[in-house]
Amino acid sequence: MMQQDGYINCALKHHLKHICYNDISIPEKWCQFIRDNHKLGPMKVCAHCFFEFRITEWGVKIWHEILQQTRGGLGITFRQKVVCYYWVCKGANVWRCANNPIASVHKWCQKFGAQENIEIVEMAHVPHSWAFSFIVKDFIGAWVPKTDSFLVDSMCK
């Protein structure tokens, strides 16, 4: 270190080598496997279970399949969380039917509502607003006997 014109010039270096980094990204072979098997999960569960369980359960199923095919994970550096994250990101394409979130959910419910037991609820138009309402019949049906009151959440822009 030396002082020059009121500034200190300092050079730092270390003598230890960096440890080698492992690439934890999913190789294209496994990305394709997840895309090809995306429709297999998540498994259907009873309506009173939390929706997160569906994603977690699928993540366990697909992860076990990858472990089976690699004899316990030999030669792979990625982990279950990365597989779940990739699946969720790719799955968003199935749900996104339009750039506007209200228009998107409306189109999705029109397309898949019958098979998912979802009913669109007609609403009166309110000027200068976007709104859409639907009922997930299985979910509501399972909670009705256990519920005194039901609160509705809304998103406003």
List pLDDT tens digits, range 43-72. 433 333 444 444 456 567 888 888 889 988
Residue ranges in the chain modelled with pLDDT below 50: 42-55, 157
Segments making up each domain of the chain, as ranges: 18-95, 99-144
In angstroms, the CA 17 to CA 24 distance is: 21
Q: Look at residue 23 in the predicted model and tell me its pLDDT.
A: 73
Question: Cα angle vertex 13, ends 7, 18, to 5°?
Answer: 145
User: Phi-psi bin for 6: left (phi > 0), alpha (psi -120 to 50), beta?
Assistant: left
- How many CA within 13 A on the CB side of residue 111? 11
User: Residue 42: phi, psi to the nearest 5?
Assistant: -75, 160
Residue 18, helix vs strand vs coil? coil
